[in-house]
Amino acid sequence: MRANTYVSFALLLLLAVPFIGCAAADNCAFRKDLTSTAIPAGFGVNIEFTDPQPGEIKMMSDAGLRWVRIDLKWDQTEPSKGQYDFSSYERLLAVLEEHRMRALFILDYGNPHYDNGKPPHSAVGREAFARWAVAAAKRFAGRGIIWEIYNEPNIAQFWPPQPNAQDYVALAMAVGKAFRETLPDEMLVGPATSGIDFNFLEECFKGGLLEYWSAVTVHPYRREDPETAAADYCRLRRLIATYSPVNTNGVKKEIPIISGEWGYSDVWPQLSSARQGQLLARQWLTNAANGIPLSVWYDWRDDGFDPTEPEHHFGMVFRPLKRGDDPIYNPKPAYLAARTLIEMFDGYRFEKRVDTGASDDFVLLFRQRDDIRIAAWTRSKSSHVVTIAIGAGDYQAITHTGERLDHLKLPVLTITQDPIYLAMKGSR
């Protein structure tokens, strides 16, 4: 197979994600036909280490997480020209596979042996990067890895001195061609933009990268509520549809969207660790109901203790390490929210958003065969009563962090900004 052979993202994830063109932002969000992804196949976290602490990956797995996303750094794995050392990633994969988890490896950053360590921008640098990327993929071929071309190339922090879309496209094209010629069954994705940078994304699509990518990855960071991402996903789907290549049968290539990095720091204004947990649940539920087959939370553990440094407080778990304990970190509400969501909706697929008559109310119905479960919350600052015109009866209710509540009798329900989950009484 060559560049005109499409690698199926759906097959790799054991998901079926049909492509849906969006006619307008107001009718393409929260639709059943956007996804048939079963929870929790597509939930994970970003990590920044290849040698986890004893018990660390187990703690992730115990929460139901199925993926980790991590930099596979060029300078660290090609220490001498043409000499590759992927041993640290082999160790990580061994632990992940022991706990039924998978990896998204980011092929990224410069190497002092090429282009003075800057992002590859010369023909020689691009060719060397592509050789290294193929060597990494050959080392780990057939192990269900997602390979991502670079991290946030649209900002100067990661593509100094200034981002250059054409340089990025040339690099990604070199990698794409090399992968499809030698490793056509490995999954390649990109461009992992900081935010949903439509201008940068369109340059990638114009450059022909959708021919080689199995999914488009973005980092939908925002200070606003996570539900606002739904309109952005609609716009991005329309853009993908405009440039998506057509196969020999005249059918457009199906290209889903991955939310590869997205979190909220619990020291941002108006935030707290409790609010962070609430937003994780709402983010993942919004993604699940909008055809996003993989959602990766940033970050796994807090990076530090400075109460004024936002970068120290994106984690699902607190520092410090509790060596020898189980769990080895104190869980934050974000961890509890992830675990509760996955336990509650394990094996369920999004069915529909139930209309309450208010655009700020979110009542999402999930189904597994004949059994239904409900997630309900509002963006409104005021709690209020809604009438849910479906599935009337007695329900067991739990909070988004796992506390059991009294049984509730629908169709009347009081909702707040904290998601509440409902399981029909007597269901498993």
Determine the average pLDDT of the residues in 17-22.
37
The whole-number pLDDT of residue 28 equals 82
The whole-number pLDDT of residue 427 equals 57
Rama region for 347: left / alpha / beta (φ>0; ψ in -120 to 50; rest): left
Determine the average pLDDT of the residues in 197-213.
98
The whole-number pLDDT of residue 45 equals 98
Closest CA to 211 of 240, 233, 237, 232: 240
Is the predicted pLDDT of residue 401 greater than 80, yes or no?
Answer: yes
Q: Of 33-47, 71-85, 220-234, where does mean pLDDT reach its minimum?
A: 33-47
In the numeric block, the tokens 């506390």 are attached to 403
Q: What is the pLDDT of residues 287-310, one digit of tens each?
A: 999 999 999 999 999 999 999 999
Is the predicted pLDDT of residue 109 greater than 50, yes or no?
Answer: yes
Is the predicted pLDDT of residue 267 greater than 50, yes or no?
Answer: yes
| d(C-alpha 340, C-alpha 382), whole Å | 24
Strand pairing report for 349-353 and 257-262? unpaired
Is the predicted pLDDT of residue 20 greater than 80, yes or no?
Answer: no
In the numeric block, the tokens 């530090």 are attached to 304
Determine the average pLDDT of the residues in 66-80.
98
Q: What is the pLDDT of residues 336-366, one digit of tens each?
A: 999 999 999 999 999 999 999 999 999 999 9
More confident call, 50 vs 247: 50
Is the predicted pLDDT of residue 428 greater than 60, yes or no?
Answer: no
Percent of the chain with pLDDT over 90: 82
Determine the average pLDDT of the residues in 112-125.
97
Is the predicted pLDDT of residue 6 greater than 90, yes or no?
Answer: no
Is the predicted pLDDT of residue 227 greater than 90, yes or no?
Answer: yes
Interior angle at CA 177, CA 46 and CA 190, nearest 5: 25
Rama region for 144: left / alpha / beta (φ>0; ψ in -120 to 50; rest): left
Q: In this structure, are residues 350 and 35 in contact, taking their beta carbons and an 8 Å threshold?
A: yes
Is the predicted pLDDT of residue 165 greater than 50, yes or no?
Answer: yes
The whole-number pLDDT of residue 343 equals 96
Average per-residue pLDDT for the chain: 91
| d(C-alpha 382, C-alpha 287), whole Å | 24
The whole-number pLDDT of residue 25 equals 41
The whole-number pLDDT of residue 92 equals 98
Q: In this structure, are residues 288 and 282 in contact, taking their beta carbons and an 8 Å threshold?
A: no
> Which domains are seen in the chain, by residue range?
9-345 (3.20.20.80), 354-424 (2.60.40.1180)
Token pair for residue 46?
């970003």
